[in-house]
Structure formats: structure tokens, C-alpha cells
């Protein structure tokens, strides 16, 4: 992996709001694996300064909690896109990719891992049991992908297959 | 946040953008279809105060960061200041106070840079009436890439300062009751010094951009969402702007002092909170003036108005120019928040530069302890305004009472006034037009509301505007941003 692609895991969420902490929990688990060549970053939310780190990466995996969608997680390509917001201080993965391209000429391959959560509307520091299971599946999935160095391959592979595998929880 | 797009071929993902609710505005019309009241609804989440109860007091400075993903450092420091008093350690060592200040200025720098470059500059560069599809950070990146890069790098620099003082970008632990748990190593200092002059230059340019815009469009800016108000902030003993510590000063719209150098431990004797049936968020006011006249503004504009001077040369020169516009009187122009915010950005980076050259940051005397107390208050000037943390702690070290007044709550009434003024000026007939939506957005944005502290709503951050006639009938409703970033 030392000479492989520069991989950035970019996770976000608030561990003080139950399953919203799925992103940080995934980041912590992946960081503990100490995989060579893998850079893990975590914050409360995706923000514009993340563009700088994205611009220095070949592959970016965004990781966030999902309030709906497939269980245990979903995995899909993300491409640059537009969007506007009213007053938020956060941006979307598509927006930061656009900024990385516009400002730094960087076009990393990017995916979004959405780990399904269930309990969001309260303060609390623990993940729900179902979310914990989904987290384990998602981390295993990512670990396998990273260790196989398969992200570049994944770019060429059928996106549908990836999505399908993810939606079935194939790890 | 990625949302379901309607493209059924895509996997439906709805990741959570946990920090924002929605901004809902209700415009109430009278019989003549004139706006007689505007209500900005923000769902304040009081649950966090209950969440803290029973927790050991020393956990609180870390715990409260989870209240908000936008200004966690401000909550971290306000809580730490409060807990200093619990352990009798409020007289910090020079190393501890300067490390905290460095962290705080880093927070100001990144927060103000983000707000200005990525939320406000589109309004200023493209005009309030420009298509929202263009009037955003992506549009700025396309047309003014140099400016957009500056915003990214300034925000990043502020985050680096936070990382090196708080220990982590997320859940920093740098401030602890009675002090700090780390100093700044020479290596860390030198890393931060590498880019400092560039940051100062960009900050100077940002002040110029905000000033030029304000002066060039002064006719429109002066009346846009504007109104007279009281102003409140912390102030240093000699009257200087102080973002970290001081006494409370409140002034009237024309600059008369309502109170001055008030020990913030006694804040409850001077400030009260009114509850209104239509809003979950309280309305703070100055007790001596009552709820009708005692509401006030906080944040950059208020701080520029209350301060006698700024103790860094570049920002002080900018302050004098700012004050000249209103001939030394308080500035009550809502859109002047942007200029004031950039003056504070410059002040913050000047302070960071001074601190990085201060050898006290490499000191090793980090914590003090003294007489144990059971009740405490910590105040700080957060980027959006004065932030109040009030706690009681029992003999078993558990928090038994918590009351927080966040900056956005302090600005509750002013934001309503700004929206009302804009609606009165721009509502034409009984229809919510794109122009009206644009102008309401711009007015609210001037206050940089941090809805994350004040709401528990999860999901996206649309702006919803409703028009209600004198008989309570919904006449029109428009939503913006429902399919955009949260």
C-alpha cells in the first residue's frame, strides 16, 4: 500500500447524538486498524476546509450516518455537483468535490458510505444496538476494500454491483 | 448530506446533517396586507441542559462540545471558564490563559472566515437578487477562485490552531478546570508561524472587501433590515474589545451606557429571558429596561459598538474607519455585521501572531486549584456573540443545574426585527416572491445564526417562509433549499 493510491476516509457526525456518531465511530475503528497508506479524518460535519485534504488524495471515502436507506449500509459513487444552502456551515460531498476540482484541479475517485442509523433525535453517547451491528458490517466492508487496494478497481468495476453488494450487506 | 434525488436508479441515502434545523419565517399581515409582525421560528433544544445533569463537572468542557458542531470550541471554553471557579482555579497561569486564548482566536478566525467567504461573499459578489443556484460557494469558486481558495486555507489555518491547542479537532480536551492539559511545543509553534503572514495579508484584504462593499452600497446597506437596538458584550477593564474575558457592558442605540463592567457572575440580576407562546427559543432582555425595550444585539456588530478600542494595530485602524461611518456613534446597520466580522477576523489573526511569539506558550505551569465552589458562571464572546454557561455542582461533583444562553438566542429578537423590516420593505401584495426570499435570507445571514445550538431538528436546512393574513389564513408558502445541503 505504501506506493498505492492515497486514500482518505472522511467521516463526520456528532457522537453526542446517538447514531449520528456512526461516522466518528467508523473513523475510530478504521484508524485503530492502522492500515498503511490510509488517512482517516473525522469532524462534526463536512466543511469547506476538507477540500484541501481531498485535493491531496486519489481516493476519498465519505462516511456518514444515514437516517434512511439500505441496511446495514449503502455505498455509492459520488461525483462533483452543485448545490446551495441557506445558512448551513456544512457542505455536501458533491460540493466539496466540485470545490476540489475548481480550486485545486483535483479529481479523486470518491464514494459515500452511508451507515444506517435509527436513533438521532436525542442526546446520548451510545449507538443503538442495530446501529452497532451496521457499523461492524460497514467497517468490515471498508477494511476489506482498503486491504485489497480495491478502490481503484472499484472505479472501473460495475457501480451497480457495488451498490448491490452493499445493499445486501456483503462484506 | 446527500439526499434522495428522485432518481430512482440511485441508492436512496439520507445521511444526517445533524447540526442544522430549518429556518421558518412566518409573516403576519394586517387587514391592509401590510406586514405587522415577522416570526423567525427556531426550535431551541433545551434537552442538552438535562443531558448534562448528573455528569461529573470535569467532563462538562468536553461534553458540551457535542452541543454544536459549528462552535464546539466556544462551548468548550465557556464551560472550562465556569468549571475553573468550581475548583477555585479562575486565576489561570499565564501559559493556561494564553493557550486558551490562542485556541479561542483560532476558533474566531476559522468561523469568521467560513462565514464570510463561503456564506456571505456570494451575496456581496453576485448581488442579493442573483439566482441562488449561482449565489453560493460553488459560484464563487467558479468566478473568483482565488477568493475561494483563501477562504478554504484560512478556515484550515484556524482549524490547525485549534488542533494544536485543543489536542483534537473534534472533542478537544485542551481546557480543563483550572487550566489546560498541554502547552504549545516549539515544533507546533513553528508550523503555525509558517503561514501567519499570509493569513494576516488575506485578512487585511477581507476587511477591505467588506468595507468597500459597505461604503459603495451604503444607501441600500444602511436601511436593509436595519433598526435601532441596544448592544451587549464582554469588555476588558480598560474598555478594550476582549473576546475571551471581561465584564458585561450594555449600551443603547445611541451609545449611552446601560450598565458597565458588570461581573458576569451576577448576569441573572441584569439579564432575563422572556418566553413567547409561538417560539421555543427564549427572548433575553435587560431587566432594567423590560422585555419591550431591553432586547439587545450581540456578536461582531455589538462588540464593535461597545468597545472603546481594539488592542491590535491593524484591527484598531479598521475599527476607526468603521466608526467614522456613523460619526463615532453605535452602528445599527444589520449588514454592517459583515464588516465588523472581518475586523474581528483581522484582530484574531493579529492576536494569534502575537501569541505565537510569546514564550509563555511553552510554559509548564498548566493548572491551578483553590477554594472549591458549588455554583458557577462562565461567559465568553463566541464568534456569534456572548455565550452564557451557568452551572451548579453538588458535593459529589455532579452537575445538578445547567442553564445555557447561546449567542443565537441572544440575537433572537434582533433577527425577528431584521426579517420584519425586510418583509415590510420588500413584500409586494400577497405573494412571497423570489426577491423577498432572497432578501430574507440575506438579512438572517447577517446575524450568522448558529441554529445547531438552538434546535434539535435533524436533517436539511431549508428556509420556509409563510404568509398569514389577518384572519389566520395561510396565503402563501415558499420553501427554499429543501433539496440542498443541510
Average pLDDT over residues B142-163: 92
When CB atoms are compared, the residue of B12, B17, B484 closest to A45 is B17
The answer to whether A64 contacts B142, with C-beta atoms less than 8 Å apart, is no
Please tell me if residue B143 touches chain A, with a CB cutoff of 8 Å. no
Return mean pLDDT, chain A.
81
DSSP type of residue B87: T
Please tell me if residue B53 touches chain A, with a CB cutoff of 8 Å. no
User: Tell me, what's the pLDDT at B19?
Assistant: 33
Q: Which residues of A touch B144 (CB under 8 A)?
A: none
Return mean pLDDT, chain B.
88
Q: Which residues of A touch B55 (CB under 8 A)?
A: none
Which triple of cell numbers denotes residue B442?
Answer: 440575506
When CB atoms are compared, the residue of A103, A121, A167 closest to B456 is A121
Tell me the range of B30-44, B311-325, B406-420 where mean pLDDT is highest. B311-325
Lowest mean pLDDT among A44-48, A160-164, B187-191: A160-164
Lowest mean pLDDT among A27-36, B36-45, B297-306: B36-45
Q: Which residue has the higher pLDDT, A74 or B311?
A: B311
CA distance A62 to chain B (A): 10
Please tell me if residue B14 touches chain A, with a CB cutoff of 8 Å. yes
Task: Give residue-wise pLDDT tens across range A3-32.
Answer: 678 899 999 888 888 898 999 999 999 999
Q: Which residue has the higher pLDDT, B483 or B412?
A: B412
What letters, b where the CB count within 10 A reaches 16 and e where it falls short, cover B384-405?
A: bbbbbbbbbbeeeeebeebebb
The answer to whether A103 contacts B69, with C-beta atoms less than 8 Å apart, is no
Hey, how many other C-beta atoms are within 10 angstroms of the C-beta on B72? 26
pLDDT at B23 over 60: yes
In residues, how long is chain A?
Answer: 171
Task: Give residue-wise pLDDT tens across range B191-250.
Answer: 999 999 999 999 999 999 999 999 999 999 999 999 999 999 999 999 999 999 999 999
d(CA B400, CA A87) in angstroms, rounded, equals 34
Name all domains of chain A by residue range, CATH numbers in brackets.
7-167 (3.40.50.1450)
User: Is B207 buried (19+), middle (13-18) or exposed (0-12) by CB count in 10 A?
Assistant: buried
- ipTM for the predicted complex: 0.76
Could you tell me the pLDDT band of residue B110, with boundaries at 50, 70 and 90?
Answer: very high
Which residue of B1, B15, B449 to mutate against A (max A Cβ within 10 Å)? Answer: B15
The label of the residue with cell 484541501 reads: A52
Q: How many CA atoms lie within 13 A of A70 on its CB side?
A: 21
Please tell me if residue B75 touches chain A, with a CB cutoff of 8 Å. no
The answer to whether B456 contacts A167, with C-beta atoms less than 8 Å apart, is no
Average pLDDT over residues A151-162: 50
Average pLDDT over residues B459-486: 71
When CB atoms are compared, the residue of A69, A84, A103 closest to B141 is A103
Q: Which residues of A touch B486 (CB under 8 A)?
A: 85, 88, 90
Amino acid at each position: 500500500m505504501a506506493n498505492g493510491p492515497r486514500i482518505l476516509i472522511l467521516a463526520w457526525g456528532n457522537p453526542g447524538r446517538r447514531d449520528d456518531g456512526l461516522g466518528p465511530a467508523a473513523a475510530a475503528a478504521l484508524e485503530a486498524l492502522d492500515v498503511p497508506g490510509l488517512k482517516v479524518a473525522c469532524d462534526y460535519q463536512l466543511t469547506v476546509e476538507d477540500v484541501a485534504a481531498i485535493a491531496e488524495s486519489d481516493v476519498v471515502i465519505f462516511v456518514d450516518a444515514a437516517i434512511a436507506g439500505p441496511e446495514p449500509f449503502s455505498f455509492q459513487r459520488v461525483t462533483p455537483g452543485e448545490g446551495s444552502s441557506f445558512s448551513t456551515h456544512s457542505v455536501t460531498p458533491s460540493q466539496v468535490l466540485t470545490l476540489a476540482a475548481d480550486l485545486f484541479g483535483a479529481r479523486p475517485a470518491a464514494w459515500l458510505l452511508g451507515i444506517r442509523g435509527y436513533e438521532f433525535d436525542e442526546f446520548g453517547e451510545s449507538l443503538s444496538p442495530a446501529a452497532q451491528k451496521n457499523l461492524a458490517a460497514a467497517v468490515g466492508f471498508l477494511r476489506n476494500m482498503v486491504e485489497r487496494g480495491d478502490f481503484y478497481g472499484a472505479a472501473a468495476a460495475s457501480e451497480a454491483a457495488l451498490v448491490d453488494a452493499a445493499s445486501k450487506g456483503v462484506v | 448530506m446527500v439526499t434522495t434525488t428522485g432518481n430512482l436508479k440511485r441508492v436512496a441515502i439520507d445521511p444526517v446533517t445533524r447540526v442544522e434545523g430549518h429556518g421558518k419565517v412566518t409573516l403576519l399581515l394586517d387587514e391592509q396586507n401590510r406586514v405587522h409582525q415577522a416570526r423567525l421560528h427556531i426550535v431551541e433544544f433545551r434537552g442538552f441542559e438535562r443531558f448534562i445533569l448528573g455528569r461529573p463537572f470535569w467532563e462538562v468542557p468536553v461534553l458540551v462540545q457535542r452541543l454544536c458542531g459549528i462552535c464546539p470550541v466556544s462551548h468548550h471554553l465557556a464551560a472550562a471558564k465556569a468549571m475553573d471557579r468550581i475548583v477555585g482555579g479562575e486565576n489561570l497561569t499565564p501559559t493556561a490563559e494564553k493557550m486558551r486564548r490562542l485556541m479561542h482566536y483560532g476558533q474566531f478566525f476559522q468561523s469568521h472566515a467560513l462565514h464570510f467567504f463561503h456564506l456571505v461573499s456570494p451575496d456581496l459578489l453576485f448581488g442579493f437578487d442573483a439566482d441562488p443556484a449561482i449565489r453560493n460557494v460553488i459560484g464563487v469558486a467558479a468566478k473568483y477562485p482565488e477568493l475561494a481558495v483563501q477562504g478554504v486555507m484560512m478556515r484550515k489555518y484556524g482549524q490547525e490552531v485549534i488542533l494544536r491547542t485543543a489536542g483534537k479537532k473534534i472533542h478537544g480536551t485542551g481546557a480543563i478546570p483550572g487550566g489546560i492539559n498541554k502547552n504549545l511545543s516549539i515544533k507546533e509553534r513553528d508550523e503555525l508561524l509558517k503561514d501567519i503572514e499570509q493569513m494576516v495579508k488575506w485578512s487585511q484584504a477581507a476587511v477591505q472587501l467588506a468595507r468597500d462593499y459597505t461604503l459603495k452600497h451604503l444607501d441600500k446597506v444602511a436601511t436593509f433590515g436595519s433598526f435601532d437596538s441596544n448592544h451587549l458584550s464582554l469588555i476588558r477593564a480598560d474598555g478594550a474589545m476582549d473576546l475571551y474575558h471581561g465584564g458585561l457592558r450594555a449600551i443603547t442605540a445611541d451609545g449611552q451606557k446601560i450598565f458597565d463592567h458588570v461581573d458576569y457572575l451576577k448576569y441573572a440580576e441584569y439579564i432575563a429571558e422572556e418566553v413567547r407562546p409561538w417560539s421555543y427559543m427564549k427572548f433575553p432582555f435587560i431587566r432594567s429596561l423590560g422585555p419591550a425595550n431591553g432586547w439587545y444585539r450581540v456578536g461582531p456588530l455589538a462588540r464593535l459598538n461597545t468597545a472603546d478600542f481594539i488592542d491590535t494595530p491593524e484591527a484598531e485602524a479598521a475599527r476607526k474607519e468603521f466608526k467614522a461611518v456613523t460619526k463615532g456613534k453605535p452602528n445599527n446597520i444589520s449588514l454592517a455585521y459583515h464588516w465588523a466580522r472581518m475586523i474581528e477576523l483581522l484582530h484574531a489573526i493579529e492576536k494569534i501572531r502575537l501569541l505565537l511569539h510569546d514564550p509563555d506558550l511553552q510554559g509548564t505551569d498548566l493548572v491551578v486549584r483553590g477554594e472549591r465552589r458549588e455554583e458557577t458562571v462562565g461567559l465568553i464572546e463566541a464568534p456569534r456573540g456572548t455565550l452564557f454557561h451557568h452551572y451548579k455542582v453538588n458535593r459529589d461533583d455532579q452537575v445538578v443545574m445547567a442553564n445555557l444562553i447561546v449567542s443565537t438566542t441572544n440575537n433572537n429578537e434582533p433577527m425577528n426585527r431584521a426579517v420584519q423590516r425586510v418583509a415590510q420593505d420588500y413584500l409586494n401584495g400577497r405573494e412571497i416572491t423570489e426577491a423577498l426570499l432572497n432578501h430574507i435570507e440575506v438579512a438572517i445571514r447577517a446575524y450568522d445564526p448558529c441554529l445547531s445550538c438552538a434546535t434539535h431538528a435533524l436533517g436539511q436546512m431549508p428556509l420556509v417562509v409563510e404568509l398569514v393574513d389577518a384572519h389566520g389564513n395561510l396565503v402563501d408558502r415558499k420553501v427554499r433549499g429543501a433539496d440542498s445541503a443541510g
